[in-house]
Each structure stands twice: as structure tokens, then as C-alpha cells.
């Protein structure tokens, strides 16, 4: 298959937990040598892309921050394009940074949308009830991901999916999922390199290589 660009999943390809994946640097340099453009995608909804850059930092290879697409960045672009720039956030303070820097105003009243990510310990009953009331007033619910749980350092942890389900059930509406594997997420990543889906490969884990057009 002729590859014109590559999207690279950070988790499992560049990093496995807190460890760098052996050979990842060589692969990136080979893409540079061949002149194949690439961008990085991350399914994390807890961290901003600045934090992701800090985690990926390694001597001799600097990854530009704009080359990383998180679910929060993709959601911010999608929300701006649809004219919904006033949002209530159920996210971590770190993920909030990506949304604010992308032009989203964070509000507690008169929100166009409620954006839900894995807020961890920042999620409280008060914040959840405030979001519910905004939905009942007409706000949309935007899910940065819809996973049920993930494996934390001390065991299984609830992810954003159950929170999204609670809000959907309570407000009687359906969430719009913007994170992986939604088309909007990959479209945002492709915009940065001007590539077409049929010419782009996705390097992910455990999937080896797939065409972006197929996801």
C-alpha cells in the first residue's frame, strides 16, 4: 500500500505505561528520512498535549506540541466549527488547558455543551448535577471518550463512559463522541498534514497498521 502520511498512537507505540518503546525513535527518524509526514494521536482525556510532550521528551528528538492531537483538541475544533464555544467541563484541570487554548470559554451557566472526559478525582456530585441541569436547559453532551474503565496503578478505575451514560439517561439525550475512534478525531489529525484518509496509515496497538479510511 502506498503511504502518504502516518498517524501514530502514542500509547502502546511510543510509550508502554511509563516506559519508552524500544525502536520508536528509529522509526520516527526513518519517516523523517523518507519525507513521510506524521502526527501523533492520544486517547488520553486526563492530560493536555503539553503534558504529553513532557512525558515523551527524550534527548535528541523533540516532538512539536502542535503535532499531538488529543480528544480535547479535536473536540475544541469541532465545537468551534459548530458555533458552540461556551462549555461546561467535566474534565481534569490539565485537560481543560487544551480546550481553553483552542478558543473554548469555560462557563457554569448558559453553556452550549457539556464536555465529559475522565475527570478522575475532580468529578464531584455537585459538578455532575450542574452539568445535568445545563443539559436540561438545552446544552449538548460531548464525550471525549466512552470507555467503561481502565487499569490504573492500583486496579481498575471507572472511565468517562459511565458518567456519560448517567447524563444521557438522566437528561434523555444521546452524547456525541469526539475521541477515538470517531471520524472527527482523525479528521482533525489529518488537517495538520493535509493528507487524505485513503493515503494515510494508522500505527496503533494492538492493531499493526490500518488505513485511516477504514476506522
Task: Note the pTM of the prediction, 2 decimals.
Answer: 0.82
- The CATH number corresponding to 5-70+183-214 among 3.40.50.2300, 3.90.180.10, 3.90.79.10, 3.40.50.1000 equals 3.40.50.1000
- Please write the tens of the pLDDT for every residue from 23-56: 777 888 888 899 999 888 887 888 899 998 887 7
Residue 153's contacts (CB-CB under 8 Å, 6 or more residues apart) are: none
Which of the pair, 153 or 81, is modelled with greater confidence?
A: 81
Which of the pair, 189 or 95, is modelled with greater confidence?
A: 95
Q: Is the pLDDT of residue 113 over 90?
A: yes
For residue 71, what is its C-alpha cell? 480528544
- Please write the tens of the pLDDT for every residue from 131-172: 999 999 999 999 999 889 887 778 888 999 999 999 999 999
Could you check whether 5-70+183-214 and 82-177 share the same CATH topology? yes
Q: Is the pLDDT of residue 210 over 50?
A: no
What share of the chain in percent tops pLDDT 70?
Answer: 87
CA distance 17 to 182: 24
Q: Regarding beta strands 105-106 and 149-152, do their DSSP bridges make them parallel or antiparallel, or are they unpaired?
A: unpaired
**Domain coordinates of the chain in residue numbers?**
5-70+183-214, 82-177
DSSP type of residue 197: G
Q: Is the pLDDT of residue 59 over 60?
A: no
For residue 123, what is its C-alpha cell? 468529578
The predicted model gives 78-94 an average pLDDT of: 94
Q: Is the pLDDT of residue 60 over 70?
A: no
Q: DSSP string of 134-185?
A: HHHTT-EEEES---SEEEETTEEEE-HHHHHHHHHHHHT--PEE-STTSHHH
CATH number of 82-177: 3.40.50.1000
Q: DSSP string of 57-113?
A: -BTTBPPPGGGEEEHHHHHHHHHHHTT--EEEEES-HHHHHHHHHTTPEE-SSS-SE
Confidence of residue 206 (pLDDT cuts 50, 70, 90): very low
Q: Is the pLDDT of residue 198 over 80?
A: no
Confidence of residue 116 (pLDDT cuts 50, 70, 90): very high
> How many whole angstroms from its chain centre is CA 25?
23
Q: Which segment, 2-16, 37-51, 79-93, is predicted with the most confidence on average?
A: 79-93
CA distance 1 to 108: 49
CA distance 92 to 98: 11
Whether residue 89 contacts residue 45, with contact meaning beta carbons closer than 8 Å, is answered with no
Whether residue 115 contacts residue 90, with contact meaning beta carbons closer than 8 Å, is answered with yes
pLDDT at 81: 92
Amino acid at each position: 500500500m502506498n503511504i502518504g502520511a502516518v498517524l501514530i498512537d502514542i500509547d502502546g507505540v511510543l510509550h508502554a505505561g511509563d516506559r519508552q518503546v524500544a525502536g520508536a525513535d528509529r522509526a520516527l527518524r526513518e519517516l523523517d528520512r523518507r519525507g513521510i509526514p506524521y502526527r501523533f494521536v492520544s486517547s488520553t482525556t486526563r492530560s493536555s498535549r503539553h503534558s504529553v510532550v513532557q512525558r515523551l521528551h527524550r534527548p535528541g528528538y523533540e516532538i512539536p506540541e502542535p503535532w499531538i492531537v488529543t480528544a480535547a483538541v479535536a473536540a475544541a475544533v469541532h465545537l468551534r466549527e459548530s458555533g458552540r464555544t461556551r462549555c461546561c467541563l467535566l474534565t481534569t484541570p490539565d485537560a481543560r488547558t487544551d480546550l481553553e487554548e483552542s478558543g473554548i470559554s469555560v462557563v457554569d451557566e448558559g453553556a452550549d455543551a457539556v464536555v465529559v472526559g475522565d475527570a478522575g478525582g475532580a468529578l464531584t456530585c455537585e459538578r455532575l448535577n450542574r452539568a445535568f441541569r445545563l443539559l436540561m436547559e438545552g446544552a449538548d453532551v460531548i464525550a471525549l471518550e466512552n470507555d467503561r474503565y481502565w487499569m490504573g496503578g492500583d486496579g481498575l478505575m471507572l472511565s468517562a463512559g459511565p458518567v456519560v451514560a448517567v447524563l444521557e439517561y438522566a437528561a434523555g439525550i444521546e452524547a456525541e463522541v469526539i475521541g477515538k475512534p470517531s471520524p472527527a478525531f482523525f479528521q482533525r489529525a489529518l488537517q495538520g498534514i493535509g493528507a487524505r484518509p485513503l493515503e494515510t496509515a494508522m500505527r496503533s496497538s494492538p492493531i499493526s497498521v490500518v488505513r485511516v479510511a477504514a476506522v
